[in-house]
Structure 1
Amino acid sequence: GAFKYANHLASDWTKVQEFAKSKGWISDYKILINENQRDGEPTLYLMTTFASIPDAAESERRNKEYDAFMKSSAEQQITESGNRAEYRTVKSSMLLREYKPR
């Protein structure tokens, strides 16, 4: 399972992140490994850095570009994501904002 997921991250996940970065939608992305996980914590954190959250219309436009880039529909992507359930468990997502004291 871990090998399959590592291959997914190195291929499709990274490909999508590089596409988003080339479009200026994100500024960076990282995979962080939780070396000393406590009970209930994830093994990996997939991080994406961006300046602002797009509105609904922009999100829809980007989704269409993602689908065209990946040559798949939202339904196919959901199915593929569901297939990864055999070797990964999605805990949740977090939205963190950087605070810069002035």
Structure 2
Amino acid sequence: MATALECREALTTFSENLGKATGNARTAAQLDRSLSCWLTDLDLTFTGRLRGGHIQDLTQAPGKPAEKAQIRLTLAGDDLVALVDGSLNFAKAWGSGRVKLEASILDLLKLRSLL
């Protein structure tokens, strides 16, 4: 099982990757939205702000997020680490229910180039 530190490092790596995005992915990475990532197996939530191609102000707290972020991700810590390192395909994980992504329809359309 991935630790909280490994999950934070995965989110940091993901943020760095967003900053390097090009084309349509760069456009999606430039969204300015609140973001939460609830790790079900750790019962831990990371929150931050997707802004300027990076995740900013990343914090962690126990339990489910208190507020609804504009972009909400729910998954296990191992799956987060696997998604970021490329060993887990997002579409397959989402289709099988391992990963849950909630956002407005417009945001989902913009985010699809990142996924």
TM-score by length of 2: 0.31
TM-score by length of 1: 0.34
The structure with the largest strand share of the pair is 2
